[in-house]
Structure 1
Amino acid sequence: MSKMTLISMIATAAAFLAAPDMAGAESAAPVIEEKKAAAPIVRKGSLPVNGIDYYYEIRGEGEPLLLLHGGLGQIEMFAPVMPVFTDHRQVIAVDLQGHGRTPLGKRPIELPAIGADLAILMKQLGYDKLDVFGYSFGGGVALNMAANAPDQVRRLVILSAPYAQNGFFPEMLPQQAAVGAGMADMMKDTPMFLSYKAVAPDVSEFPKLLDAMGALMREPIDDSDAVAKLTMPVMLIYGDADMIRPEHMIDFYHKLGGGLRDAGWMRENMSKNRLTILPDLTHYETFASPLMANMAMTFLDGGGKAPNWAEQVGR
């Protein structure tokens, strides 16, 4: 297998492995003109939860927002849009199990377990209730956290993540199943490994991380029951060229009670949940899109409603 074939396979493998070639992503994705830098880190550290020492960083002021990255990534994935988030909120960003500065530990990577860990971690950090944003692998974690600790999550944004394995295009499933430690040596020059190497406490764990993520992706995950437990407002965001089937996006929205009928003249049938499909964005670009970040923040701040026709005429 050539290195380019390997990189292509990893880059298209799954929503869980969402750390693309950042040089390519920067040229293809919308670029923020950063008039304002992200707020500086005001607190950082690691806290143990159920055998995992989770690394976290806290930036900015305001209502708290938990930010969860994609697979084989880390907090730094959100650098292009972090100014948007920290301009509005106090952002708590966490490196998930086995990723970035958080060690893998001795247990499997499982979405419900990590979601439960984060609910505990947020309590330890002093947050009784907060908004949660998760991208890709982090979206699956966010879904499970919100389902199992609904009183702790005020609003939820899930970016580029399905609720079940069948949400991926079917040709991707064999590629997901192939992810494992055997790829580690050929990945030494890829952005996935280089970004991991820059911050990981033990670089030798990278092959184990690939094994753990491969094992997760081989599981026939279906979080329909978790979706049914969501009581807070939820926004689903995808790119129109995402790795999630469009039919699955709609099905997910339907499960949340959205898109089942006309909202009505006075929004009397309007769902509290939202579905957003952004143009000209792949799975590997949505997380760096300023359009995405601004739409997410509008939802999290409770805005977004336009005046209806009657309201316009009555002005």
Structure 2
Amino acid sequence: MRIDNFYKVKGEGFPLVLLHGNGENHRYFIHQIRYFSKYYKVYAIDTRGHGKSPRGDELLSIDLFAEDLYYFFERNNIEKANILGFSDGGNIALSFAIKYPYMVNKLVLNGANMFEKGIISKVQRKIRKAYIVEKYTHTEEGYKRAEILNLMINSPNISIESINKLKIETLIILGTRDLIKKDHVMLMHRKLKNSVLEYVEGDHFVAYKNFKIFNEKVRKFLV
């Protein structure tokens, strides 16, 4: 079932689409909306089941979110855009680019992973524990939180073969103390033939916590 994603739009010019991470909403990108709207028409989207976007009836998945993004492009008459995705948003962006490469100009992947083992084991164990706790609270809110957490346990499932075919210019950004494994990101970098890898001082949330450096690197790449 198609949904109409909630979104904020600001600025004029070539489209720049922002995709937040797991359990968040468009407000994660407050510093990017303010900065990049000086140069682009920025669309900051709430993913299905997040923020103010409806959940719909289907099982939540990265592939479903990528299809939602395709519909969002159609609904807003966006033929092609730059996409910046953080964490699960990066996974959505990558999945979308694999399926609809002609709709992506440049791609920015911040803290993204191709499959769940790309997350540091200690962190993955915490996610699984939180998932079990939420699932067995037997409350509606607990089930909702468990469903969102499950996205980091059983997805994404992006094949190395599929990204190896991508020719889109891609910037991969990783925090120096990120929860994504460095060797996993290096593998992604090697297989994305037209990619650049940059590190920003900080943890997984560098776009929010170290936004000046982050924004400078993204702006330099997009120009």
Q: TM-score, normalised by structure 1?
A: 0.65
2:154 to 215, 219, 243: 219
Q: State the aligned residue count.
A: 220
In structure 1, which of residues 291, 303, 306 is the aligned counterpart of residue 213 of structure 2? 291
Moved more, 222-231 or 166-175: 222-231
Matches within 5 A, 1:1-315: 50-180=1-131, 182-183=133-134, 206-219=141-154, 221-224=156-159, 225-257=161-193, 272-279=194-201, 281-288=202-209, 289-301=211-223
Q: Deviations for 1:229-250, whole angstroms, at most 9, x for unmatched residues?
A: 4221011001111111111121
Amino acid across the alignment from 1:106: D
Structure 1: give runs of 5+ residues left out of the alignment: 1-49, 187-203, 258-271, 302-315
Within 2, Cα distance between the matches of 1:180 and 1:166? 16
CA deviations over 1:95-146 (Å, ceiling 9, x no partner): 0011100122222221111112201211210111111110011111111111
Give the AA of the match of 2:31. Answer: P
Deviation of 1:77 after TM superposition, in Å, equals 0.9
| CA deviation after TM superposition for structure 1 residue 89, in Å | 0.5
Q: Secondary structure at the match of 1:231?
A: coil
Instruction: Find the counterpart in structure 2 of residue 11 from structure 1.
Output: none
Unaligned runs of 5+ in 2: none
Residue deviations 1:58-95, cap 9 Å, x none?
11011111111111111111113322111111001110
The amino acid of 2:206's aligned partner reads: E
In the TM superposition, residue 182 of structure 1 has moved relative to its aligned partner by 4.2
Q: Distance in 2 between matches of 1:179 and 1:106?
A: 24
2:140 & 2:214 partners in 1: Cα distance? 33
Check conservation: 1:181, 1:207, Cα contact below 8 A.
no
Root-mean-square deviation over aligned CA pairs: 2.2
Q: Percent identity?
A: 25
Q: TM-score, normalised by structure 2?
A: 0.90
Letter in 2 for 1:144: S
Letter in 1 for 2:166: L
Shift of 1:205: 6.1
* Poorly superposed stretches of 4+, deviation over 4 Å: none
**3-state SS of the aligned residue for 1:76?**
helix
Q: Which structure has the larger Rg?
A: 1
Measured after TM superposition, the shift of residue 285 of structure 1 is: 3.2
